[in-house]
Structure 1
Amino acid sequence: MRVRSASAPPPGRTVNEDLVFRAGPLVGVLDGATVPDGFDIGCVHGPQWYVRHLAARLGLAEAARPAATLVSNLAAAILAVRADHGGQCDLDHPGTPSSTVCLLRDGGDQVDYLVLCDSPLVLETGDRVDVVSDDRLAVSTASLRATAAELPESTDPETRFRYAVTVQRQWMNRTHGYWVAAADPDAAYHAVVGTVPLRGPDALRRAVLLTDGASAAVEEFGLFDWVGLLDLVTAEGPGALIDRVRAAERDHPDRRRRHKPADDASAVYCEFTRLDDNGA
């Protein structure tokens, strides 16, 4: 598995709440949830601290239990980060630091993957390109917009926004809501998981792991389709994808569906050498 990656905060910011990492056969991208101004999180830490600790704990879990499932290792990592808070924080607070998770692990004959929340994975297997996504946050957000529409028309934008954030927090890691890595290891068991082969006609050839700041190239700005995204990253590298998103953010600020004019963006490109049935 050959790996290239890029990650960058939005223009004008030095803090990147995304993180890309590799630990042996495991690669991943994490996207820490930004805390809107004026909101408490019940924690002395923040999203950047959380993603760094979660990545480190995932690496340790993989090293200690390489045969365990990605779900099991993610649950162990979340539990370990919970202990890393050192009893200083209210981990039952609805705004406790959290992160999306997108993982890919090379097992020699096959590749395991895990997607939790809105950090999608693009896979080219055989002659097809598929996207592994977890759309539960998007579904919850759509329901939230419908609920917010019931507020009186005189409600000012700031009040609407604070209402939306408060309700969304109530849906985090709840049945009929959405799931994300935070303080509850049970969230790992709600991830989207699967396995693809590294041999035969349907062998995995290329993969791209994305945070939503990078997948916005397709999902928000429509710059190209998923095949086009994969081809761009293959030819020009993950950094070129982020450059395209930044240009679109400047040219089409109205396309952003969220409260941020720009977002942290990360992409990891993995290329696999095709194996025959003899392992050659």
Structure 2
Amino acid sequence: MLRVIPAVPTMRVDACSVAAPGQPDNEDQTLQYGDLVAVLDGATAPAGFDTGCRHGPAWYVRRLTARLTLAAATAPADPLAALLAEAVRAVRGDHDGDCDLGHPGTPSSTVCLLRRTSGHLDYLVLCDSPLIVDVAGQVGVVADDRLAATMDRLWQREPPATDTRQEADYRRAVQWQRQHTNTPDGYWVAAADPAAADRALCGTLPLTGPGRVRRAALLTDGATRVVDLFGLLDWPGLLDLLANAGPAELIRRVRAAETDGAVSLTTVPRHKRHDDATAVFCLFDGG
């Protein structure tokens, strides 16, 4: 007797990653290995702050991406959190003992992972690189807002000197952030402790049936600016733009907004005029 095997929905992937203008290195990275896709965003080391490490964030995020790929090749069925923990553990060894990995400023990265299985999508979101999903025509956001919540709580205790948050406020924010990195009362990010992977937001979504995922986007915060900072699109509009024009057009619009007088540093306060920007768009057919 012939056994009918259900068709596995196909996954088409389009990605674009662009460094901030004037910066020599892109501290964002994308990954596509088989059915696994990801975006990672290395935390910029602020000028004048020690990290305890001779390597920079671009080195760290490239190493973490490579180690994630190797972990997925070695154990493709392992939970995403286990793959990330193994990758973080492996990068610890890549430092060759030359760095103080207990330093609060040790290089770190956000992580957003998506993996297609026979009938489902597994996801992992750690820190502020969100996943946007279209489930049966309804757009939702999987976002890890613990960093933003931590900083908002601290700013409420000690408000900034001005609405534009000057250099002194920025340095104070960096110090606060470091004090609350990978702590129960703060936020979690991929750095030197593999245990942070267990604190990621993880879940599974259907790829078949009427409630299936049709589209998804993995974004760094340099790309989400078009929605959550500049307000030029909403999340459904962002998915539509990615579907119709692609990730490169999304980033082009971000760059245009960053230089537009209407969203100057005064009218839209931010610590960096430009940021590395990365978007991965996934389209699922069938099911």
Match status 1:124 vs 2:134: yes
Following superposition, the deviation at residue 38 of structure 1 comes to 0.6
Counterpart in 2 of 1:258? Answer: 270
Q: CA deviation at 1:257?
A: 4.5
Q: Choose which of 138, 146, 149 in structure 2 pairs with 1:136.
A: 146
TM-score by length of 1: 0.94
Q: RMSD over aligned Cα, in angstroms? A: 1.5
TM superposition shift of 1:126: 1.1
How far apart in 2 are the matches of 1:100 and 1:205? 25
Determine the C-alpha separation between the residues in 2 that align with 1:102 and 1:256: 26
**Alpha-carbon spacing, 1:24–1:166, altered in 2? closer, same or farther (3 Å):** same
Aligned to 1:22: 32
TM-score, normalization by structure 2: 0.91
Distance (whole Å) between structure 2 residues aligned to residue 150 and residue 82 of structure 1: 36
Is 1:273 matched up with 2:285? Answer: yes
Question: Taking structure 1 as reference, are residues 225 and 158 closer, same or farther at Cα in structure 2, changes over 3 Å only?
Answer: closer
- Give percent identity, aligned residues only: 56
1:6 corresponding residue in structure 2: 16
In structure 1, the residue matched to 2:6 is none
Instruction: Please state if 1:188 is matched with 2:197.
Output: yes
> In structure 2, what residue type is equivalent to 1:77?
A
Mapping for residues 107-256 of structure 1, pairs under 5 Å: 107-149=117-159, 157-251=166-260, 252-254=263-265, 256=268
Alpha-carbon separation, structure 1, partners of 2:97 and 2:186: 27
Correspondence 1:81-120 to 2 at 5 A: 81-120=91-130
Assess if the C-alpha contact under 8 Å between 1:220 and 1:257 holds in 2: no
The one-letter amino acid of 2:83's match is N
* Structure 2 unaligned regions, length at least 5: 1-10
Structure 1 stretches of 5 or more lacking a match? 276-280
Alpha carbons 1:148, 1:160 under 8 Å: kept: no
Matched residue, 1:32: 42
SS class of match (1:73): helix
Tell me, what secondary structure is at the counterpart of 1:272? strand
Is the Cα–Cα contact under 8 Å of residues 144 and 168 in structure 1 kept in the other structure?
no
Aligned to 1:58, which of 53, 62, 68?
Answer: 68
Q: Is the 8 A contact 2:42 2:108 kept in 1?
A: yes
- Aligned amino acid, residue 181 of structure 2: M
CA distance in 2, matches of 1:64, 1:121: 25
Once residues 150 and 131 of structure 1 are traced to their aligned partners in structure 2, the CA distance between those partners, rounded to angstroms, is: 29
SS of 2:285's equivalent? coil
How many residue pairs align between the two structures?
272
Give the AA of the match of 2:30.
Answer: V
* Partner residue in 1 for 2:79: 69
* Most deviating of 193-202 and 93-102: 193-202
